[in-house]
Amino acid sequence: MTERTVQGGFARQWAAVESAVLDATRRVGESGWYILGQEVASFEAELARFQGRREAVGCASGLDAIEIGLRAMGLERGARVLTTPLSAFATTLAVVRAGGVPVFVDVDESGLLDLDLAAEVLEEHEDLRFAVPVHLFGHALDRVALAALRDRFELHVLEDCAQAIGAHSHGAPVGGVGRVAAFSFYPTKNLGALGDAGALTTDDDPVAESARALRDYGQSAKYVHDSLGLNSRLDELQAAILRSALLPRLPEWTARRSEIADRYRSGLEHPEVCVVPTPASSTSVWHLFPVRVPGELRDDFTAYLRTAGIPTAVHYPGLIPDQHAMAAVEGVVVHGELATARAFAAEEVSLPIHPFLDEGEIDHVLETVAGWRA
Ligand SMILES: *Cc1c(COP(=O)(O)O)cnc(C)c1O
């Protein structure tokens, strides 16, 4: 019998998209136009349509899309921004780079920002006017609850959708509650480019216009600089690949992730391995498949899986406010003990999930987990 392992998805994805990527590459090469041309415009139009928004603005990364989005919404230096301590560091880094001061609020049992707790914090801090919630793991935060929060506190919301492109809440795509939604096309993301890329979407035309200037040195017209922008343009090459080789396959890939998640959810039966619950209204896109094990057993669990050829990861081993870099940020507010986020940091393990896992690999994960400490 051959040794069974679980493989990553990159090589198999390449085999599936190679000819479409090469066609897109040739198209850009032959056009002789490499920055902010027809390919970026076409991808933006397709992305806006996919997410059901008026406008999309391509950027160089998800990090930049959040920063640019916040600045385009009028965030001023020193303004407080409510956000989650359990996310990629980039979420908070973008807030700080935009001039904001993070206010960290704990997560709920699904690992996403606790919206009830957020309401309590917003009651206390009257000056809080901005929020950056994250649709973590590919799960959608409850759209109705988020909109209620936005309306009650007149919040400017930027939704971090880096892990959740295509996710829905109460039947509508993520990204429609906030004035801006930000996406990352980092290679590991559900829509992963062949390099760095990102975008924001909005229904607000002045915000889109401002974002287009900010990503291009703050130019409102050639050699006219109305704001201190950055160079955060999406390349024509990545835009061409995203639009014609990757985005058309995303629905099929998402459906496959969802099938795998269903198999894990019904097949994982181990007293020490708990599947993390999804928010009730979420139609998730399963960027990750998070489970929790007792903190003192986590190293044993991941080492055991590694021995069986099953790679895992931890999202995230530490909270954002505890990172050394945050010591340099003045005025950070940490609301309470962040006990639930801390429990996630101690107990979370992400099992392998990508559209190219085959049935044998899924069986191998389920059987291996079942045999842990047996
Ligand atoms: C990946 C990620 C980002 C940053 O995106 P980049 O394209 O890597 O800059 C931001 N927020 C979340 C939740 C992410 O997962």
Helix (H) / strand (E) element for 316: namely none
3-state secondary structure 10-49: HHHHHHHHHHHHHHHHHHHHHHCCCECCHHHHHHHHHHHH
Q: Is 250 helix (H, G, I), strand (E, B) or coil?
A: helix
What is the per-residue pLDDT across 21-57, written as a single tens digit (0 to 9) for each? 999 999 999 999 999 999 999 999 999 999 999 999 9
Identity at 117, one-letter amino acid code: L
Res 231 pLDDT > 90: yes
* CA of residue 201 to ligand 1 center, whole Å: 15
Q: Best of 186, 191, 235, 320 to mutate for ligand 1, by most ligand atoms within 8 A of CB?
A: 186
Whether residue 1 is predicted with pLDDT greater than 60 in this model: the reply is no
Nearby residues of 141 by Cβ (< 8 Å), 6 or more positions away: 112, 113, 115, 133, 135, 159, 169, 174, 279, 282
Residue 211 contacts residue 68 (beta carbons within 8 Å): yes
pLDDT digits (tens, 9 = 90+) for 125-159: 999 999 999 999 999 999 999 999 999 999 999 99
Q: What is the mean pLDDT of residues 111-132?
A: 97
Per residue in 274-308, pLDDT (tens digit) is 999 999 999 999 999 999 999 999 999 999 999 99
Q: Which contacts (CB < 8 Å, 24+ apart) does range 292-295 have?
A: 292/343, 292/344, 292/347, 292/348, 292/349, 293/347, 293/349, 294/347, 295/343, 295/346, 295/347
Query: CA nearest 344: which of 266, 277, 280, 287?
Result: 277
Q: Which of 158, 161, 163 to mutate to test the pocket of ligand 1 (most atoms within 8 A of CB)?
A: 163
Number of the ligand 1 atom closest to the C-alpha atom of 287: 15
Alpha helices in the chain (DSSP H): 10-31, 38-51, 62-72, 89-97, 115-124, 143-153, 205-214, 236-241, 250-267, 298-307, 339-347, 359-370
DSSP tag of 249: G
Question: How far, rounded to the nearest angstrom, does the alpha carbon of residue 84 sit from its chain's CA centroid?
Answer: 13
Q: Which residues line ligand 1 (CB under 6 A)?
A: 61-63, 87-88, 90-91, 134, 160, 162-163, 184, 186, 196, 198
Confidence of residue 3 (pLDDT cuts 50, 70, 90): confident
